[in-house]
Amino acid sequence: MRQAVGGLVWSLGLTLAGYALGSSIPNVDHYLLPIVALIVVVSLLPLVSELYRSHRSAKAEEARG
């Protein structure tokens, strides 16, 4: 029951937030794609950082012997 209420609140909140954003900012569709791209890039930064550290650590192990 709690999950259904949470899902309902989330979907209604997201819909209402989108409506409010669309009505308050003219031509919001021009800004939406760069914002989404920025969110994706920021979300991938920890993965890239961990892969870099892992690669660097493996090279250090290989150099030691």
| Per-residue pLDDT tens digits for 33-49 | 898 999 999 999 999 99
Q: How far apart are CA 15 and CA 24, in angstroms?
A: 14
Q: How many structural domains compose the chain?
A: 1
Mean pLDDT of 11-27: 90
pLDDT value of residue 65: 67
How do residues 4-18 score in pLDDT, each as one tens digit? 999 999 999 999 998
How do residues 49-58 score in pLDDT, each as one tens digit? 999 999 999 8
User: Which structural domain, as residue segments, surrounds residue 31?
Assistant: 2-64
In DSSP notation, 21-50 reads HHHHSTTTHHHHHHHHHHHHHHHHHHHHHH
pLDDT value of residue 44: 98
pLDDT score of 30 more than 90: no
